[in-house]
């Protein structure tokens, strides 16, 4: 069994193209794979089997939607100030600028274009 228990997560969206653009701009990655079907729109960002971390997707479904008080996803970063600067550059909302969490590193918290609260974690 993989020692990293998180294998997959989905971030619910209302506007797929807007959400894809947001995540591409913040994380500078856009290798999405379209897994959409008749019941949902889904764009998957695959995981690398030989690397740590989880696969994830942006998902649009009728019965589910974004929420600022839902599950919190922490994205890993070399330095969370980098992604924070991109959020600020595009005029999106920074909820909490880069903050020390002591021996555990730093976090920055922001709201994505769909209303989800997203956290970035870095060791420096």
Instruction: Name the nearest CA neighbour of 11 among 2, 28, 32, 108.
Output: 32
Closest CA to 87 of 30, 42, 28: 28
Residue-range definition of the domain harbouring residue 56: 8-122
pLDDT single digits (tens) 93-109: 999 999 999 999 999 99
Q: What angle do CA 43, 113, 62 make, to 5 degrees?
A: 55
Measured CA to CA, the distance from residue 58 to residue 42 in angstroms comes to 6
78: in domain: yes
Rounded Cα–Cα distance for residues 39 and 120 (Å): 31
**Backbone angle region of 34, left / alpha / beta, with phi > 0 → left and psi within -120 to 50 → alpha:** beta
According to DSSP, the β-strands at 73-77 and 117-122 are parallel
Q: How confident is the model at residue 1 (pLDDT cuts 50, 70, 90)?
A: very low
Look up the CATH number of the domain holding residue 35.
3.10.180.10
Number of domains in the chain: 1
Question: What digits encode the pLDDT tens for the residues 79-95?
Answer: 999 999 999 999 899 99
**How would you class 106 by CB atoms within 10 Å of its CB: exposed for 0-12, middle for 13-18, buried for 19 or more?**
buried
Q: What is the pTM of this model?
A: 0.81
In a domain, 2, yes or no: no
């Amino acid at each position: 069994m993989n020692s990293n228990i998180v294998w997959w997560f989905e971030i619910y969206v209302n506007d797929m193209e807007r959400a894809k653009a947001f995540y591409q701009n913040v994380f500078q990655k856009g290798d999405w794979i379209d897994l959409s079907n008749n019941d949902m729109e889904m764009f998957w960002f695959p995981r690398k089997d030989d690397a740590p971390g989880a696969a994830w997707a942006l998902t649009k479904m009728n019965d589910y939607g974004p929420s600022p008080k839902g599950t919190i996803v922490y994205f890993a970063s070399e330095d969370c100030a980098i992604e924070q600067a991109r959020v600020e550059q595009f005029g999106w909302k920074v909820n909490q600028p880069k903050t020390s969490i002591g021996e555990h590193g730093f976090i920055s918290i922001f709201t994505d274009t769909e209303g989800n609260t997203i956290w970035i974690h870095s060791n420096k």
